[in-house]
Amino acid sequence: MAQRERPLSPFMHYRWQYTNTLSILHRITGVLLSAAFFLLVYWLAAAAAGPEHYAAAAACLSSPVMQLVLAGALFSFCYHLMMGIRHLAFDLGLGFELKTARWTGWAAAAVALALTCIAWVTLHSSLGGGA
Amino acid sequence: MSLRSPLGRALGHGSAKSGSSHWYAQRVTAIALLLLGLWFVASLACLGGASHEQVTAWLRSPTNSALAVLLVAVAAYHASIGLQVVVEDYVAGKGARTAILIAVKFALAVAAVVGVLAVLRIAFGVAA
């Protein structure tokens, strides 16, 4: 039997628009946050295990590599949060007009970046003050 | 020739049986995590660099330990549904897909239990 030409999924032939990238980033940050969840559990378990374990975990988390990972996790959280709100609005049937979908995409990404910076600066200023 | 109607043949087959419950749960947990996540990140930003004593004192407050348990449980569930969608989208082989899904769910379940127990041990003062 001759293979009939099957319809292609939209992403196979749509031209690139930045909203595509915003959308796949939502998924990527979701996967990254799932990985970061294990760091959260590690931190909680270390706190429950006692001061020595907690100090070891804190030292591990403050290494330059882990700081980069944590900054990435923080941005992933902010991005997934803002983009998630946009997606919840989509689910309610709101914001589907091309113009609206474009500006809310930019806005969500910009707010996510701003939130990341605010949280990171707050964290590090309380680091300086608390330590 | 079959006397069954096209609808009769289609009913009970395909994916549209319980798919909407996952879809719905993903949104409900998203709304919960919106609040829990903001609470946690804001607390963490203020706690930054706190000593073991300060962190456990913070977690021992009834409000904070309740919210922390909710955060761990709801985040694990939200991640579980989300990762399932991702795996189902990108892993084509049935065997590999099932194996990865089981591994992901096991890992998240174990992490969730470890996380909740850690919070409870601190909250009830049985932590070291």
Report the pLDDT value the prediction gives residue B15, as an integer from 0 to 100.
Answer: 62
> Which residues of chain A make contact with B44, given a CB cutoff of 8 A?
123
| Distance between CA atoms of residues A19 and A25, nearest Å | 10
Instruction: List alpha helices for chain B, DSSP H.
Output: 6-10, 19-47, 52-60, 62-90, 94-123
Best of B33, B52, B110 to disrupt the A interface by mutation (most A CBs within 10 Å)?
B52
| Distance between CA atoms of residues B94 and B5, nearest Å | 31
Report the pLDDT value the prediction gives residue B16, as an integer from 0 to 100.
Answer: 59
* pLDDT tens digits, A69-101: 999 999 999 999 999 999 999 999 998 898 999
Report the pLDDT value the prediction gives residue B6, as an integer from 0 to 100.
Answer: 84
Which residue of chain A is at minimal alpha-carbon distance from B68? A44
Amino acid of residue A128: G
Report the pLDDT value the prediction gives residue B18, as an integer from 0 to 100.
Answer: 67
- Name the DSSP class of A10: G
Q: How many beta carbons lie within 10 A of that of residue B34, not counting itself?
A: 14
Domains of chain B: 21-123 (1.20.1300.10)
> Which residues of chain A make contact with B27, given a CB cutoff of 8 A?
88, 91
DSSP-based three-state secondary structure for A54:
helix
| Distance between CA atoms of residues A123 and A100, nearest Å | 34
| Distance between CA atoms of residues A18 and B27, nearest Å | 24
What pTM did the predictor assign? 0.86
Domains of chain A: 20-130 (1.20.1300.10)
- Using a 10 angstrom Cβ sphere, with 0-12 exposed, 13-18 middle and 19 or more buried, the burial of residue B120 is middle
Can you tell me the ipTM of this complex?
Answer: 0.86
> What would the mean pLDDT of B108-122 be, rounded to a whole number?
97
DSSP-based three-state secondary structure for A79:
helix
- Token pair for residue A43? 């931190």
> What would the mean pLDDT of B71-87 be, rounded to a whole number?
97
Q: How does the average pLDDT of chain B come out, rounded?
A: 91
- Name the DSSP class of A12: G
Report the pLDDT value the prediction gives residue A108, as an integer from 0 to 100.
Answer: 95
End-to-end CA distance of chain A: 73
Query: Residue A49 belongs to what H/E stretch?
Result: helix A18-49
